[in-house]
Every structure is written in C-alpha cells, then in structure tokens.
Structure 1
C-alpha cells in the first residue's frame, strides 16, 4: 500500500516572479518571459498549443528555447514551481513535488541537457532510480529536447510492471485491455465482445467497459456481468467499469466487485475539480477505500487505473498558461502518488483542437509514454483518433509500432478498431496480436497459461508462442454456435470474424474503411433547417463563423455572438431546449424530427414550462451555460450531434446534455460541497448514443423528458444526482484470486 504524504507536508518552494530567459542565436536575439513561455516554445508545434498561443513562432525560435532549456539546471526548475493565474501553487503541482529527495540531490546541479545525456548512457535500473527524483515539469523539459529515437530508447529502459491477478509489463510481454463497449450497455453485446477478445488473446490486463449510463445501478450490473464472464471463462484477469470514481465508490460500498478503480486525471486543479469533479482528497479517499474494501486487496499489489492524454486542460481553457506536454507530465506526478496498476494514455481522443494530424499525434504519444515511464508508471498506450481530425488509420498504426518498440505495457482491444459507444478509433485484438508477432512478445504469463489450455495459443518445442487452433474463435466460450450468433445480433458494426494470419481478412478491412469514409463525410455536413420540417425554432449563432473554425477551436462554440446576446432576456422557464449540430449535422437531421415533438410533449405533460426551442449551428456543450445565464431557465437540455464513428448509422449519433442551473443558494451550497468546486454554477448529466443503432430517437424523447423531471425534482444533476439513492454500505467482498 502506497504511503500518501499529507499535502501540507509536501515541501514546495515559494513562487518566484517570472524572469526573462534570453539568448542570441545565429545573429538573432530571443527572449522568453517566464518558465511557462519557455517550455511552450521549446515543444513541437501542436494544435492545442497553437490555439493557446504557446508555441514558437518558427523553427529558429523553437531551437532558441531548447538551447536555453538545455542549460537550465534541475535545481532552477525545482525552485520555480509553476503557479495558477493568481499566483497559487495548486494541489497537483504540490503533489508533483513529492519526489525521492535522495535521487534528486544526486542530479540537482545537472542541466536538463546533461541529464538527457546521462539517461541515454545509463542502465535501466539507474534510469528508474533517477526518474523517482523528477517532478512532472522536469520530465516535460526532457521530453522537449528528445528526438524520436531517444524517446523510445529511454522509455524502453524504464519499463515498469504492476500486479493484480496478472503481472502486466514484464519483459517480453505485451498485454491488452479488452474494451467491450456498447451504445446502451447491452449485456449480450458485452458478452460477444468479451468472448471475441479472449479468443484473440486479449484482456490479460483488464476487462474494462466505458458505461453509457453512469449510475450506481447500471455500473453494478455491468461489474456483476463482467465478473460472471471472468469466472465462467476462467480467464485470469481483472475487471473494471470506467464510470466516475464517485459512482464506482458507491457501487463498491453497495457490494459490487470493483476490482480496479478508474478515474481520468488532469494536470491542473481547475480542470480536475471543475470539469472532472475530482479532488486530490477524493482520490486519497478512493485509494484508502480500495486498500481496505476492494475485492483484490489481498491479491493485487496495485488496484488503481488512471487515464490521461494531452489536451483536456487546453480544451477547457484551464491550462494555467502551461503547454499540453507539461500539463500531461503533471498528470503523471499525480498518478504516481497512488502506485497504480494501469495508466492509459489516450492522446488523440479529443480531436483536431489538440492534435490536428498524424505527426502531432505520434510525437505526443511518444512524449507521453517516455514521461510516464520515466516517472515510474506502468504505462499503457491508446494512440487514437477521431473522424473530425486529419489523423488517419495509417498514422495510428505507425504510432502503435513505435510505442511497441518503446516497450508500452499494453494496448487496447477495441473490436475491429471501432468503439461502438465512444465513437473513436483505437487498436484492436488483431493489432495487439500483430504487434506481439512483430516484436516477439507474449501475453502475461498467468493469462498465457490459461490461453494455452483453451487452444488459443500453443508453444513450440523451442518455446515460441504461436496462435493456436482456437485463436479468433469466440464460439469456444458458448454452449453452441447458435448461442453466439444470438449474442452477435446485438453487436453494432460487426463486419466479420474472418482473419488472415493475425490480421482481419481483406473483405473485413474494406468494409471498415468504407464506413470510415462515410464518417468523414458526416463531419463535413452543414446543419440544414429545411431537413427539420414541421418544427419551429428561434435561430441563434455562436462565435464560430464557419465549420473549419468550429472544428479547430471548441472554445468559441461555447459562446453566443454579441448580436444574439443583446437580443435575449430572462424568461424564467423550467426548461430550455437547444439543438446544435456539434460534430454531426447528420445526427440532428435524422433524430430531431422524431425526438423533439415527443420530448416537448413529455415535458409539458409533467406541467413544466418550456421555452421555444433554439437552433444553434456550430455549438458546443458548454454553450448551454451561455443560454442559461441569459434566459435563466432552471434546466437547459442540449441536443447535440456527437462525433461520427463506428459504422454508417453511428455517424448519426447524438447526445442530450442536461445543464442544471444552480440558481438557489441551497442547491448551490450542496453542489459545491459535494464536488469540492467553489466556483461551479451548473451540474451536468448526459444521455448518449441516441440513434437507431443505440437509443432510438422515438424512445429517447420520453427518456430525456423523464430525466429532466428527475433532475428538477431532486434539484441536482450529474454524480450528485446518481449517488443520492445509493444504498447503505455493506460488508466488503473479497473476490477469488
């Protein structure tokens, strides 16, 4: 069990005024005001940093910044903690100073450039020792000086394993997290995808679902189902449902088998608290809960799972003037506090506002993997992409090959690369096995022993692991072929199971690629009011003037333009509905004609007053707050197109976001106390995957209306609403080892 140093006991130097860093290079003078500016200018140019005006203006400026950074000592960086806009050291920066003091003292006088040379020369054990003495900012500074070969070489030395039922990250192994997501958490689909993944040798790191519905009841049901599948198949692995940690904690206290506890992290306190509804104190509480009540407390050495990825702080405009790489490194300093079982990096998941193209995504993933490994974390990687970026499947595959060479502990298994709930693209079971065969790796030892008994793998006389006769045959886990076929009917975008070696058969690949092309087209579609017949809207505008601006800068889609602001006044309705294209106008065209009339009728049938629906092109989720402040309804329901993914039907997926305005003092006080965020003004709930392959629009109208009624009756939304009815704690359960 990790020792969690009290925040008050972590020594952090007092903040110093920003100083100027200057250099003359090739007859040009360069000056950078403050360490944040220097770090930003030293990094490769990325969309998120460009949007925040943190990148160098040109290559010469970048090299000037790198030259200065190379000559700064680690002690100088230590003595200049990066602060918030108001000069405060936030809790995440403070945690980053909880380092191995002895290790730091041995290198404190080295410059960043000298330390880079030391790491390139040092044996693996020394790299791992020195990494324990670094803060996230120091690791970020190193990453900005390293080329691709160096990022791979040092990360490969810093390999770190972690143990639950399986030992993940041992030498010559490559594991995977099996991700059986479904748009509505359909358990038959979950079973089919788990069986398929296990038959391909996936899931030795984790069976982990991202829930569509984040409630204690649903999370408990999913955990129970995964636990049953694990026991029935006999697969030695562990399970997790990637809900908000408050939901998981309530589920654990209600008796659910929360074997590995998940949470997304951010590199600034404002992002972590305001947007993720998490504090360091809550993370500490969750860690202690798992250590004392978690089902694997007597089996696992580690039991926390964190996801990170460059860009969240930038997209929420809460980066405190720090570039994306530095924010990401601070996430790792926070994760290190809890000695996690898994850290998964999902850089590329957000979209073009953070990483526009293949090069930006690939380099960021290599930086992240290097920084996490150097700081002592068991890093898994999910170099991923979305349809609205310029990242391609080829760029994604290049990233995975480089990260496998760098020694990533695990990758994802998203069936045929298509996530059916989150609408993004990641590695598949085919990819994972291909990487094993290219890089001469095998699954975790405990899992491999089981897989050999099922004919999934075989071992030759000379110890080579090969695909066995049952590799890729999920029917071995079912009582009959028809039973699996029945499960398969519930799987969206099931393009086929035929393989060619470790790869999908050509006809399967062709169908995947054709559907990707359809998704790209959906991104380009414009919102057309003529395709919403018999519906009456008042039309407003955001500050985004066109599609390209809207996709590249999400912040401006969260604000109304000045003319609209001047035209609106408080109306005081119970509910205001806003319809926006978001990332898919096609989602609005195909769902709103059926959904909106039912929603409005349902709200009015409950006696709620409803404002005239608003049609808002180029809008983002947070524009609900701009509408709420001007019209002052109790609740804003945003019906918004989600990013296309999966198959042709999934390109029409939309979500309903509920922004509950905390207008009365009692609700405001309760919400702020619950979240730890003293500045929050809204609570959010969401119903996602609304389309004919998920939650059908005719049904969704009623579901959304009922959710709105529940929010207004409870005067709460989001995690606070969903944990209100959590049952009293039971005795902790202990899973079989």
Structure 2
C-alpha cells in the first residue's frame, strides 16, 4: 500500500509503511547514514501528515520487519485490549495519550501497544508532548526493592573500574551511596568479559550489600552467558543483564536469541527461590538508537522503530529495569545535542507507553557535538517526564568506557530541584544511617553522625 501527501503544492509518495515511518522521523544522522531519512523538511512534514491518518490496525497487520522477533512480538500482543483502539488513527492515538485522563486507561492498553504503534505516535509529538505524555505513566517493579513509584527518581550507580578491581568498584559505590545513589541498582560494566572477573565483582558487591544491610540490587553487565556461568559457580545474581536490539539479526550480532534470554531468566528465578527477594522481576536490559544499524541489521527500518522493537523484546521478559544508552553509540547515529535530546525523550516515552520501567543513560561520547550542559538539560527534561532512573557515574566521566554521563552530584541536584526522592527502601536506609532527613540529603557538616559502618568501610577501602 502506498501513501501520499502534499505540502505547499509539492506531492510526496511513500511506497510502504516502513518508508513512511522512516521519513516521518525527526532528523537523525543514523537514518541519513542508512539512506532512509526524509530528503527535506517538506518531505518529513508530508510523511507525518500521511502517518497521522494511518489506522493502528494497519500498523499491526503490516510488520515493518519480517523475522522471528516480529513473530514473538505479535504472539505476545494483547489482541483483546487492542480491539478497543484498533480503529483509531495514529493521530487520534496521539490526542488520546496527551489527555490527562489517559493514565487511567493506560494500564489496560499498554500490552496492546506494539512497538511500531508506539514509535509512530512519538513521531507526531513535540519534545514537550513527549514529556507531558510520559509523566503520569508510572511503571512499578520489584526485585529486592521497588522502583517506579510517584515522586521517585532512581539511580543506577555505575562504579566501573578499568581493571575490574573490586576494592576500587566498592569505593566508588560507597561514594554514590553518600549522595543517595544506588537505589535502582549497583551495576558494573566489566572491563573484560571473563567468568572469573564477573564472579569476583558479583561476590564483592554481594558482600558489600550484606555488610551494610543495603536495600538494592547488584549486577555485572557482562554477556548473559558469562553471568550464567558465574551463577553456576555460586556467585549471587540479583538481575540478569543483556543489551538487546529490535531485529533477529541484530540480536544475533550480540550473540543472543530470545530462547537464550528465556532460559537465563528461569535460571536466575530458580536461584532466588528461598532467598530474600520480594519480587519476580529479575531482568535488566539496555537498548539504544543506532544499535541495529551499527550491526547492519536494521532491515531498512529507521532508528526509532528499531529502538521501539528492542524495547518490545525487553517487554517479553518482565524486566525490573530497562534503559536506553541514548548517546553512547556515537555521532554516526545521533550527531549532536539536539538529536541526543530528542532521542532520549522518544526512547523514554515509547518505553513507558508500552508499559516498561524505562530509564535513560543521559550520555554522549567525546567526539559528538555535545557537552555537560547537554546532559544537564536532558536530565532535567527526563526527570520532569517521570523517568524511572538515570546513571550515577563518578564525576560524570566513566574511566572504563570513556564517555560522559551523569554524576552522583547531578542526580542529587536534580532530586533537590524537582522535589524527587530515592526509592522508598533506600530512603529509609539513608535515614537510618544518618545521611537523609525530612525528605532531603543532609549537608556536609550536619550534626548528625552517620552510621559507623560507613566510616569503617571507607577506612578499609582507602587503606
């Protein structure tokens, strides 16, 4: 089926839904690199105009990518709930999700919204629309602790170390705790994908959590097979991590398939039985616009559609956390601050619309036209949009991955500015150890004395 629209007397024709969706996307260097982007602003406006009139039923009936991932996503589709909105157009769904009343019906409709439907809706929205529509959509999940409640901005502490030195990792994690960070997760990107290193860091983090009676989760972001091998050795695995993409071929480039993820999830659930876990959500996924294109596995689809499909893959496994590493892949995919900001807001909105506990690594690489002010801007926008969690990196500069993110101080400041808090369990812990009172982090020099266990651990780690 072809689609046509005219802008100021100039007519445009789009051969199919894949082309229409791609050319309705906001400007992205990755789409230009892939040769799927609109050739002009007029063509982009024409594509948006035509897309607004596409029925949701047609979007579901005509897969943009035909592969086993599409089959799995459609098999999980809630067709009963979808019947309520199938006759709507994309433009009508946009109007619906921008209504304050939408939050009341959204929990029922979220499983009915396919990745292509979510991505199409985002393409018709302004940045402010993306903030306003996402803000009331709260996705609450539970592993050891709870994330996603109203008024909470979570933080994944990211205490990476270039040599996977456990003491250095723990010192950085403790630094984050002193600023109220780590409620979502203490998650380490290993420098090497070895079972020995993964197991050592997991065991160190487990002992750290036990000693401080710390209400949080730990994770090492190694390949799923490496984590499962560490689990078989007896290392504690709170959350099973994996980067995922939106096509079967892109996931194959990561060395994974859906069956592997399902088996891994079951293994972690089995390891949790009889232990101190409050919830059954035991997976953590990272996504990011450009991943499928960088693997030459985007199947002609644009970056936002591929990102939404990656989030759809994550949804299959009932995740505790999902986040887009929005600016990490590089300028070939998101060229500058404007594109990174737009992509971050899109990724967050699309994930929340599909019912995901969506966070974001607000970040950029050093060869992109962006800076820390860029990160400050996007951090505040996402926090205002109800983002589930962001990253806490020492001084905002990851010494192992060599990119720029948000710091512990940035997270603490965003919470203070917007009146947000850590997750409830960590907030209570911070109060008990003397770091938090009356809804805020205590200032340095406060007369309250922090728990001596913190001082003792600090002394050991710095000896």
1:313 and 2:299 correspond: no
Cα distance in 2 for residues equivalent to 1:298 and 1:236: 11
Deviation at 1:125, TM superposition (A): 2.4
Deviation at 1:380, TM superposition (A): 1.2
Tell me which of 52, 57, 63 is aligned to 1:75. Answer: 57
> Quick check: 2:321–2:358 contact (8 Å CA) kept in 1?
yes
Secondary structure at 1:338 match in 2: coil
Tell me which of 391, 395, 420 is aligned to 1:441. Answer: 420
Secondary structure at 1:344 match in 2: strand
Closer/same/farther in 2, CA of residues 277 and 105 from structure 1, 3 Å limit: same
Cα distance in 2 for residues equivalent to 1:288 and 1:197: 31
Deviation at 1:422, TM superposition (A): 0.6
1:30 and 2:12 correspond: yes
1:252 and 2:259 correspond: no
Cα distance in 2 for residues equivalent to 1:128 and 1:63: 32
Deviation at 1:409, TM superposition (A): 0.8
Question: Partner of 1:44 in structure 2?
Answer: 26
> Quick check: 1:139–1:375 contact (8 Å CA) kept in 2?
yes
> Quick check: 2:352–2:358 contact (8 Å CA) kept in 1?
yes
1:95 and 2:72 correspond: yes
- Write the mapping of 1:388-467 to structure 2, written as runs, cut at 5 A: 388-459=367-438, 464-467=439-442
Closer/same/farther in 2, CA of residues 36 and 257 from structure 1, 3 Å limit: same
Question: Partner of 2:263 in structure 1?
Answer: 285
Closer/same/farther in 2, CA of residues 475 and 331 from structure 1, 3 Å limit: farther
Greater C-alpha radius of gyration = 1
Cα distance in 2 for residues equivalent to 1:470 and 1:222: 33
Cα distance in 1 for residues equivalent to 2:109 and 2:148: 20
Closer/same/farther in 2, CA of residues 219 and 343 from structure 1, 3 Å limit: same
1:236 and 2:218 correspond: no
Cα distance in 1 for residues equivalent to 2:320 and 2:457: 36
Question: Partner of 1:60 in structure 2?
Answer: 42
Closer/same/farther in 2, CA of residues 228 and 36 from structure 1, 3 Å limit: same
Deviations 1:175-212 (A, max 9, x none): 11111100010122112101101111110111111111
Tell me which of 366, 378, 400 is aligned to 2:357. Answer: 378
Cα distance in 2 for residues equivalent to 1:386 and 1:475: 39
Closer/same/farther in 2, CA of residues 188 and 291 from structure 1, 3 Å limit: closer
> Quick check: 2:145–2:278 contact (8 Å CA) kept in 1?
no
Secondary structure at 2:214 match in 1: coil
Question: Partner of 1:266 in structure 2?
Answer: 245
Deviation at 1:302, TM superposition (A): 0.8
Tell me which of 338, 341, 351 is aligned to 2:330. Answer: 351
Closer/same/farther in 2, CA of residues 302 and 480 from structure 1, 3 Å limit: closer
Secondary structure at 2:98 match in 1: helix
State TM-score, norm by structure 2. Answer: 0.95
State TM-score, norm by structure 1. Answer: 0.60
Deviation at 1:468, TM superposition (A): 5.0
Cα distance in 2 for residues equivalent to 1:474 and 1:325: 46
Secondary structure at 2:235 match in 1: coil
Deviation at 1:417, TM superposition (A): 0.1
Tell me which of 165, 170, 173 is aligned to 1:191. Answer: 170
Deviations 1:696-729 (A, max 9, x none): xxxxxxxxxxxxxxxxxxxxxxxxxxxxxxxxxx
Closer/same/farther in 2, CA of residues 441 and 298 from structure 1, 3 Å limit: closer
Closer/same/farther in 2, CA of residues 153 and 374 from structure 1, 3 Å limit: same
> Quick check: 1:455–1:468 contact (8 Å CA) kept in 2?
no
Q: CA RMSD in A?
A: 1.8
Deviation at 1:474, TM superposition (A): 11
Deviations 1:376-401 (A, max 9, x none): 00011112101111121111111111
Cα distance in 2 for residues equivalent to 1:291 and 1:379: 22
Cα distance in 2 for residues equivalent to 1:481 and 1:383: 29
Question: Partner of 2:123 in structure 1?
Answer: 144
- Write the mapping of 1:334-345 to structure 2, written as runs, cut at 5 A: 334-345=313-324
Deviation at 1:300, TM superposition (A): 2.1
Tell me which of 113, 120, 138 is aligned to 1:134. Answer: 113
Higher relative contact order (CA 8 A, sep 6+): 2
Closer/same/farther in 2, CA of residues 474 and 349 from structure 1, 3 Å limit: farther
Question: Partner of 2:456 in structure 1?
Answer: 479
Deviation at 1:218, TM superposition (A): 1.4
Q: How many residues get paired?
A: 458
> Quick check: 1:262–1:304 contact (8 Å CA) kept in 2?
yes
Closer/same/farther in 2, CA of residues 393 and 112 from structure 1, 3 Å limit: same
Cα distance in 2 for residues equivalent to 1:73 and 1:123: 19
Cα distance in 1 for residues equivalent to 2:12 and 2:276: 55
Cα distance in 1 for residues equivalent to 2:268 and 2:79: 28
Deviation at 1:475, TM superposition (A): 8.9
> Quick check: 1:100–1:133 contact (8 Å CA) kept in 2?
yes
> Quick check: 1:417–1:428 contact (8 Å CA) kept in 2?
yes
Question: Partner of 2:342 in structure 1?
Answer: 363
